Chain A
């Protein structure tokens, strides 16, 4: 079906099923069979989703130069450990059966269990959710800026969110307007923040205009929140502090504060003045994922930062309850994994597995168990809590493994408007 001989594919995967997609057709007329779900995504360019092998991919039609540029940018960001979608391939030299040239495409892997912000409400977006989204976006922006990435189009629409133990973890989706520099100037960072504030306000005002924003939400207030959240985190991660040489404990305190924020300190600059009475301290290299890395090391589980923190708390409580206090942390962690975590996950029926990812299930089950115990004023066993959680919570949730970007509210010049109707009518 595909005129594969003329295609040029640059790909980071070796999946030959890539060749089976109908590259000889313009994306907007791809047959139903090839398309994952009906809604077209929305950005400057046409984006659609397709099944490829065992997963879902997002396909964006654009020019060859832009596709290659974004592919490389996303690869660079991933190398720097910045949360963003995974670029899979660039396909150029597409032609239809009549030999007419077709746009090049960028193929990215759909991020499992990720949600576009417009999928995070049933009737209207609640103020707490809006604030959590903005907080997650602020963390992402700080991480991008530390990596030297100027985004140029920071917005909720250009971000995907994964649930993260009551909070959200944000992933960059659209790098088209971005650029990597050695370091960003303060002015560049401020410009990105201003773009973020205006875009978020626009997105929330649009929800309000469409009656999709909870009455208690203040679009301007929430959008302004990104500035405060960003500045607080940026200052914690980068500012220098000076203290008396006798207060050396402040070094450990700073490191702990950063750890609690989810960052490891790879490099600290510590300077003393000439007579050695004052110490100046500044983090130089910080690395997000403090709890994620510890969880991964101890259990092999890959979770978001807050989920990891939550799981580690449970693990630490488990360790503390062991009689043999001397035993090795790794061994006890393994025990926790096979006697606590895995039985919970295994008790979930296969058909419910697509509702939430396992770490989030475990977190929610812990919450549920706590509420049960509070309500009934007694200890609740793990098995009882799991059963109750599945019956009363999990099975009533929708599947979130592959919530495809709905036709979002925003569209950008000068590409034709894609239907503004609600995505729920279509999926």
Chain B
């Protein structure tokens, strides 16, 4: 069991103007499942490698269980870097497959056996320990592979895009398995992915990175409901949040022909005449009053009970793409013109210059 702390940790590659990881401040609690997410080049894998001891920490520190990890070689960090592809060997039994790495580590036979049995219990594989992998189902084999990492009893699991090689269906299946397993084990886990959906479904908390800088860290709900800046707002969630710039007017802001009320405190946080606003597709409603933002529908996508309307509007002379999720009772068609407004209190307001959030909560009661 362990905590992990990045204390203003930076990685600066020689000859690069911008640090790959820039003063990262992040605390991972004991037993927590933390996801590092961001687009390619955001520094998430570098951060993970710094923790694993594979990258130098140029500035700041990384603490494992409160102890500075500097100078501790990777092999002594008691960290398991779970790699993408554990091979299972066909002539070895499930128990041998799970335990052979312990043999390499020089752990005696009794200890090996007890750890393997313990892991097998957790993985519901006890009755298969004497079998060869060939006789197992795909799902069972996957659990054996995970058993290889578990028997090491590491303090921290590190996973760098472990599902990148899988097809979409297997990815969904495996991510559920990994998340539930690590929770049962209670081992602190740092998981890296570029896929925001994976982050939202797996993490206890999520840290969003962009260009080496931590943008926001919080629960999936908090990130989704109250993104702290325009980047997080646009990155988390699919289809992405509708984001565009609009004018501030008396009592609120302009949303097409409607004025949407915004708290005075929010408005006082900016001196600009415009703000960037965001509305999630599920928070876009077809206006009953006819007041709001006129949208021309380009495409309708039906997904069971819901349908997504993909359209465009003209805001301040520029074209803005708009996505709305409506229920089955709404029947707009391709080419239709509709008028939309945001659900009350479901509007995200950002400073047009700093791109930082201006209103405290978009949704009542959100963290």
Smallest CB gap from B133: residue in A: A417
Minimum C-beta distance from B20 to chain A (A): 11
> B266 in the interface, Cβ–Cβ < 8 Å?
no
- Given A203-B89, A412-B88, also A198-B165 (CB < 8 A): no
Inter-chain contact A209/B89, CB cutoff 8 Å:
yes
Stretch at the interface among A109-117, A188-196, A274-282, A290-298: A188-196
> A317 in the interface, Cβ–Cβ < 8 Å?
no
Query: Which single member of A182, A185, A202 contacts B100 (CB below 8 Å)?
Result: A202
Minimum C-beta distance from A82 to chain B (A): 21
**A216-251: which residues lie under 8 A (CB-CB) from chain B?**
220, 223
> A44 in the interface, Cβ–Cβ < 8 Å?
yes
> A152 in the interface, Cβ–Cβ < 8 Å?
yes
Smallest CB gap from A69: residue in B: B164
> A129 in the interface, Cβ–Cβ < 8 Å?
no
Inter-chain contact B83/A153, CB cutoff 8 Å:
yes
> A272 in the interface, Cβ–Cβ < 8 Å?
no
> A414 in the interface, Cβ–Cβ < 8 Å?
yes
Inter-chain contact B75/A194, CB cutoff 8 Å:
yes
Inter-chain contact B90/A420, CB cutoff 8 Å:
yes
Q: Which of A198, A206, A414 has the most CB of B within 10 A?
A: A414
> B92 in the interface, Cβ–Cβ < 8 Å?
yes
Binary contact readout B168-186 vs A (1 if CB under 8 angstroms, 0 otherwise): 0010001000000000000
Inter-chain contact B100/A177, CB cutoff 8 Å:
no
Inter-chain contact A409/B90, CB cutoff 8 Å:
yes
Query: Which single member of A182, A191, A410, A420 contacts B87 (CB below 8 Å)?
Result: A410
> A95 in the interface, Cβ–Cβ < 8 Å?
no
Q: How far apart are the CA atoms of A206 and B103 in the complex, in Å?
A: 13
Inside 8 A of B139's CB, which chain A residues have their CB? 414
Smallest CB gap from B15: residue in A: A182
Smallest CB gap from A412: residue in B: B85
Inter-chain contact B84/A220, CB cutoff 8 Å:
no
Inter-chain contact A411/B104, CB cutoff 8 Å:
no
Stretch at the interface among B46-54, B243-251, B273-281, B298-306: B46-54
> B91 in the interface, Cβ–Cβ < 8 Å?
yes
Q: How far apart are the CA atoms of A205 and B148 in the complex, in Å?
A: 15
Inter-chain contact B96/A44, CB cutoff 8 Å:
no
- Given A412-B85, A414-B141, also A206-B92 (CB < 8 A): yes
Binary contact readout B206-230 vs A (1 if CB under 8 angstroms, 0 otherwise): 0000000000000000000000000
Binary contact readout A116-145 vs B (1 if CB under 8 angstroms, 0 otherwise): 000000000000000000000000000000
Q: How many residue pairs, one in A and one in B, have C-beta atoms under 8 Å apart?
A: 117
Binary contact readout B68-108 vs A (1 if CB under 8 angstroms, 0 otherwise): 00000111000001011111111111001000110110000
> A413 in the interface, Cβ–Cβ < 8 Å?
yes
Minimum C-beta distance from B53 to chain A (A): 5
Inside 8 A of B52's CB, which chain A residues have their CB? 187, 191
Binary contact readout B141-169 vs A (1 if CB under 8 angstroms, 0 otherwise): 11001000000000000000000011100
Query: Which single member of B91, B141, B142 contacts A409 (CB below 8 Å)?
Result: B91
**B94-142: which residues lie under 8 A (CB-CB) from chain A?**
96, 100-101, 103-104, 132-134, 138-139, 141-142
> B56 in the interface, Cβ–Cβ < 8 Å?
yes
> B336 in the interface, Cβ–Cβ < 8 Å?
no
> A199 in the interface, Cβ–Cβ < 8 Å?
yes
Inter-chain contact A209/B96, CB cutoff 8 Å:
yes
Q: How far apart are the CA atoms of A248 and B85 in the complex, in Å?
A: 49
Q: How far apart are the CA atoms of A194 and B174 in the complex, in Å?
A: 25
Binary contact readout A384-423 vs B (1 if CB under 8 angstroms, 0 otherwise): 0000000000000000000000000111111111001000
- Given A176-B165, A205-B96, A416-B138, also A223-B104 (CB < 8 A): yes
> A63 in the interface, Cβ–Cβ < 8 Å?
yes
Q: How far apart are the CA atoms of A176 and B49 in the complex, in Å?
A: 19
Inter-chain contact B134/A191, CB cutoff 8 Å:
no
- Given A153-B83, A201-B100, also A410-B49 (CB < 8 A): no
Smallest CB gap from B96: residue in A: A209
Q: How far apart are the CA atoms of A380 and B330 in the complex, in Å?
A: 95
Inside 8 A of A409's CB, which chain B residues have their CB? 89-91
- Given A185-B55, A416-B138, also A220-B88 (CB < 8 A): no
Inter-chain contact B91/A210, CB cutoff 8 Å:
yes
Query: Which single member of A44, A191, A198, A414 contacts B104 (CB below 8 Å)?
Result: A198
Inter-chain contact B103/A411, CB cutoff 8 Å:
no
Q: How far apart are the CA atoms of A420 and B83 in the complex, in Å?
A: 23
Smallest CB gap from B177: residue in A: A414
Inter-chain contact A412/B86, CB cutoff 8 Å:
yes
Q: How far apart are the CA atoms of A424 and B166 in the complex, in Å?
A: 31
> A157 in the interface, Cβ–Cβ < 8 Å?
yes
Minimum C-beta distance from B30 to chain A (A): 24
Query: Which single member of A187, A212, A412 contacts B49 (CB below 8 Å)?
Result: A187
10 inter-chain pairs at a CB distance below 8 angstroms, sorted by A residue, are A155-B87, A199-B87, A202-B101, A203-B87, A206-B92, A223-B104, A410-B87, A411-B88, A417-B141, A420-B91
Given A198-B101, A209-B89, A413-B145, 11 further pairs, Cβ under 8 A: A44-B85, A182-B13, A185-B49, A202-B87, A205-B92, A206-B92, A409-B90, A412-B145, A414-B166, A417-B90, A420-B90
